[in-house]
Amino acid sequence: MAVEVLEILLGSKARARLMRFFILNPEKEYLFSEIVKKNLLKPGEVRKELNSFKKIGFTKEKKRKNKKLYQLNGEFSFYKEIEKLIMGSGISPQCKSLKNIKKIGNVKVALTSGIFVNNSEKLDLLLVVDNVNRVKLRNLITHLEAEVGKELRYMIISSEELIYRLDMLDRFLINLFKNEHKLLILKTPKIKRMITRIKKQ
């Protein structure tokens, strides 16, 4: 299901993003300012949706040290139905920032796994980059986390380190390439040959 469909069904991008955010972080409590920052939304949009969520019981509101905290209400009547809708909509279609990966430096490999493909891998994003621009990298991760709805588990290494670790039969990386994933970028003949060989094992 494309993200546009989910946004239409739920009424807006802000509502779809915030519902995903709370569904994916059910045990956590957030300040209003944290919700705005993490989801890259306008305060007015967030306030409107939080008021609606509170009204129907989708979220709980608490006070601690005179500050309001917001959390998913696990006892919400349609929790399971909403969770199924959110998770069934898929992650990757809404991650428009993935197309900006190539802007962070000389990218040799970009691989998505974990939350992007709904598997249990301990890594969501592998970036093999030479001469990485740290500012653009942080900006990329910030936007991706807002689109995904939670903090990403990512690794960034150089092409030299990747080749070394694969030569040393690094089990973590080998399993990552052997298990379910999606390759967004794959450059350099030597790395291509190594990954192809791993997949055939």
Task: Check which CATH number belongs to the domain holding 78 and give it.
Answer: 1.10.10.10
Per the structure, the complete domain to which residue 180 belongs is given by 93-200
Q: How confident is the model at residue 7 (pLDDT cuts 50, 70, 90)?
A: low
Contact 124, 35 (CB under 8 A): no
Same domain, 75 and 106: no
Q: Select from 90, 105, 126 the last residue of a domain.
A: 90
Same domain, 118 and 179: yes
Decide if pLDDT at 91 tops 90.
no
Contact 13, 7 (CB under 8 A): yes
Same domain, 114 and 193: yes
> Who contacts 98 (Cβ-Cβ below 8 Å, separation ≥6)?
92, 110, 112, 144, 184
Calculate the CA dihedral of residues 7, 9, 10, 16 and round it to 10 degrees.
-30
Region label for 183, one of left (φ > 0), alpha (ψ between -120 and 50) or beta (otherwise): beta
Q: How confident is the model at residue 8 (pLDDT cuts 50, 70, 90)?
A: low
Same domain, 193 and 97: yes
Same domain, 64 and 152: no
Tokens of 177: 């390439």
Q: Select from 90, 105, 123 the last residue of a domain.
A: 90
Distances (CA, A) of 6 to 19, 47, 48, 56, 71: 11, 20, 19, 19, 22
Decide if pLDDT at 1 tops 50.
no
Same domain, 77 and 151: no
Q: How confident is the model at residue 176 (pLDDT cuts 50, 70, 90)?
A: very high
Same domain, 97 and 84: no
Average pLDDT over all residues of the chain? 89
Cα gap 165→18, rounded to integer Å: 39
Same domain, 65 and 29: yes
> Total domain count for the chain?
2
The pLDDT, as a whole number, for residue 2 is 45
Same domain, 128 and 80: no
Q: Select from 90, 110, 133 the last residue of a domain.
A: 90
Q: Indicate the DSSP class of residue 180.
A: S
